[in-house]
Amino acid sequence: MLEIFGFIAALFIGLLLGLMGGGGSIVTVPVLVYLMHYSPVVATGYSLFVVGSTSVVGASMYWKRGLIDFKTALSFGIPASIAVYLTRQFIIPAIPDKMFEIGSFHVTKSIFLMLLFAVILIMASMSMVKGRQRVEKAPGEQNIIQRSVLLQGVGIGFLTGMVGVGGGFMIVPALVILSGLSMKRAVGTSLLIIAANSLIGFLGDIFRSDIDWRFLLVFTVISIIGIFIGNFLSKKIPGEKLKKSFGWFVLIMGLYILLKEIWF
């Protein structure tokens, strides 16, 4: 029964990516862990493939509508892609299965990844609920902004590799605020960056673990169907309004994961 809800959630993942250029990966990892019963390490890797593949389809739709800034995607995406690959290839395998103890509480690798994921969810929810505004760039600030884009790309790539999130909930506001893109153009550019980050990150897992390709491809196809629906609805529903409602949902989910991993 839980698996059925998991496949329904796959449709929702694609829907979110199509509507908002992010948010799908926030749902993917909890679905794979709590509904499909994969370990957090496997779930974060599978999430990269699902979100990356779905984002490729979504990015192609926005490209046809002329809503992708390729120059910004390269300046943001290259450092992010390098960071996510290195994280999956070297940092994740280096984390010990049993990390440390706090009294009687044993922090394992799986618990650590889920707690980190929960913290990121809570931070993302605050960003979604508060919203953001585009800022005007003074001429002397251009170099500072370019460095900020580079650093944000590296940071988002690291988090993508650690917890399997595409990072759209961080990329979209960064593109709006730092690069001055419109919301729709930021969403399209974000999908291209997410696709590159996620699929390059997944390459770090291919040769290190056995992959259930049958499940992964079915789950991904359902998610891709969802992004077609989300892309259609994005022409009728303002994504920014949906972000606030989804932000509250993400906050509740982050708190739930935090409590579950610590007390249950």
**What pLDDT is stored for residue 46 in this prediction?**
92
> To the nearest whole number, what is the mean pLDDT of the chain?
82
Query: Would you state the pLDDT for residue 215?
Result: 95
Judge whether residue 217 has pLDDT over 90. Answer: yes
Domain extent at residue 92:
2-263
Give the ranges where the chain is alpha helix by DSSP (H). Answer: 2-20, 24-30, 40-64, 70-86, 92-94, 109-130, 142-163, 168-178, 183-206, 213-234, 239-263
Structure confidence by residue, pLDDT tens digits, 48-73: 899 889 889 989 988 998 989 998 89
CA separation (Å) from 118 to 20, 80, 104, 140, 242? 20, 21, 21, 38, 21
SS3 label, residue 72: helix
Using 50, 70 and 90 to split pLDDT, how confident is the model at 135? very low
**What pLDDT does residue 23 have?**
66
Max intra-chain CA distance, the chain: 58
* Residue 100, strand partner residues: 107
Residues 6 or more apart whose Cβ sits within 8 Å of residue 46: 28, 32, 38, 164, 211, 216, 219
Share of the chain above pLDDT 70, in %: 88
Average pLDDT over residues 240-258: 80
pLDDT of residue 212: 92
User: What is the pLDDT confidence band of residue 132, given thresholds at 50, 70 and 90?
Assistant: low
How many structural domains comprise the chain? 1
Whether the Cβ atoms of residue 176 and residue 186 lie closer than 8 Å to each other: yes
Predicted confidence (pLDDT) at residue 113 exceeds the cutoff of 50: yes
What mean pLDDT comes out for the span 103-112?
Answer: 86
Stated pTM of the model = 0.78
Residue length of the chain? 264
252 pLDDT higher than 70? yes
Higher-pLDDT residue of 81, 124: 81
Name the DSSP class of 65: T
